[in-house]
Chains A and B, each alone.
Chain A
Amino acid sequence: MRNDSDIAVISTAYLPSVRRNDITETEMLIAVIDEALGKVGLKRSDIGFSCQGSCDYVSGGTFSFVPNLDAMGAWPPIHESHVEMDGAWALYEAWVRMQHGDVEIAVAVGSGKSSTGDPAEIYINELDPYYLAPLGPDPVSLAALQARQLIESGKTTERELAEIASRSRRDAANNPKQQLRSLETDVEKLLAEPYHRTPLRKSDLPPISDGASCVVMATAKKARELVARPAWIAGIDHRSEVHNPALRDLTDSASTRLAAERAGGVAGVEVAELMAPFTSQEVVLRQALGLGDDVVVNPSGGALTGNPLMSTGLVRIAEAAEQILSGGRNRTLAHATSGPLLQQNLVCILEGDN
Chain B
Amino acid sequence: MSTQTSSTIQFPYKRTLGPVISRFFSELTAQRIVGIRSGDRVIVPPMEYDPETGNQLAEDFVEVGPAGTVVSWTWVAEPGKHHPLDRPFAYALIKLDGADTNLLHALDAGSEDAVSTGMRVVPRWRDEPVGRIDDIVAFVPGETPEGPAAGEAQDVQTMDYFSTITYTDVLSPTLERYAASMRAGVIKGQRCPQCNRVFLGRGYCSVDAIILGEEHEEALPDFGVVSNYTIVTPTPYPGQKETEPFARASVVLDGDEMVIAQQQIIGIPVSEIRVGMRVKAQWFPAAERDAAEITSKGWGTVAGFIEGWVHTGEPDEPAEQYMNRVF
- Chain A bound to chain B: yes
Q: Which of A115, A118, A149 contacts B166 (CB 8 A)?
A: A118
For residue B80, CB closer than 8 A to chain A, the reply is: yes
For residue A130, which residue of chain B has the nearest CB?
B21
Task: State the interface size on chain B (CB cutoff 8 A).
Answer: 65
Within the complex, what minimum Cβ distance (angstroms) separates B133 from chain A?
Answer: 5
Q: Which of B75, B84, B163, B173 contacts A125 (CB 8 A)?
A: B163
Query: Hey, which chain B residues are within 8 Å of A61, CB to CB?
Result: 295, 297-298
Asked whether A198 and B211 contact (CB < 8 A) given A60-B165, A136-B84, the answer is no
How distant is the Cα of A44 from the Cα of B172 in the complex, in angstroms?
A: 25
For residue B276, CB closer than 8 A to chain A, the reply is: no
Asked whether A198 and B75 contact (CB < 8 A) given A22-B173, A70-B209, the answer is yes
Which of A23-31, A217-225, A298-306 has 4 or more CB atoms under 8 Å from chain B? A23-31
Asked whether A141 and B106 contact (CB < 8 A) given A60-B169, A73-B207, A116-B167, the answer is no
How distant is the Cα of A110 from the Cα of B211 in the complex, in angstroms?
A: 19
Query: Hey, which chain A residues are within 8 Å of B17, CB to CB?
Result: 130
For residue B91, CB closer than 8 A to chain A, the reply is: yes
Asked whether A247 and B80 contact (CB < 8 A) given A20-B170, A23-B173, the answer is no
How distant is the Cα of A145 from the Cα of B76 in the complex, in angstroms?
A: 11
Within the complex, what minimum Cβ distance (angstroms) separates A129 from chain B?
Answer: 5
Q: Which residues of B from 1 to 59 have beta carbons under 8 Å from A?
A: 2, 7, 9, 11, 13, 15, 17, 21, 43, 45, 47, 51-52
Contact assessment for A197 and B104 in the assembled complex, using a CB-CB cutoff below 8 Å = no
Within the complex, what minimum Cβ distance (angstroms) separates A69 from chain B?
Answer: 9
Contact assessment for A27 and B204 in the assembled complex, using a CB-CB cutoff below 8 Å = yes
Asked whether A134 and B134 contact (CB < 8 A) given A116-B167, A120-B82, A121-B166, the answer is yes
Contact assessment for B298 and A67 in the assembled complex, using a CB-CB cutoff below 8 Å = yes
Contact assessment for A197 and B76 in the assembled complex, using a CB-CB cutoff below 8 Å = yes
For residue B132, CB closer than 8 A to chain A, the reply is: yes
How distant is the Cα of A197 from the Cα of B112 in the complex, in angstroms?
A: 11
For residue B175, which residue of chain A has the nearest CB?
A24
Within the complex, what minimum Cβ distance (angstroms) separates B79 from chain A?
Answer: 9
Asked whether A136 and B83 contact (CB < 8 A) given A24-B172, A75-B208, the answer is yes
- Name A's B-contacting residues (CB within 8 A): 20, 22-27, 30-31, 33, 44, 57, 59-61, 64, 67, 70-75, 113, 115-118, 120-122, 124-125, 129-138, 141-142, 144-146, 148-149, 152, 195, 197-200, 241-242, 244-248, 250
- Name B's A-contacting residues (CB within 8 A): 2, 7, 9, 11, 13, 15, 17, 21, 43, 45, 47, 51-52, 71-76, 80, 82-84, 91-93, 101-106, 112, 117, 132-134, 159, 161, 163, 165-170, 172-175, 195, 202-204, 206-211, 295-299
18 A-B contact pairs sorted by A residue (CB < 8 Å): A20-B170, A22-B2, A22-B172, A24-B296, A27-B174, A71-B209, A116-B170, A116-B296, A118-B166, A131-B21, A133-B163, A135-B106, A136-B84, A137-B91, A138-B80, A148-B74, A152-B72, A198-B74
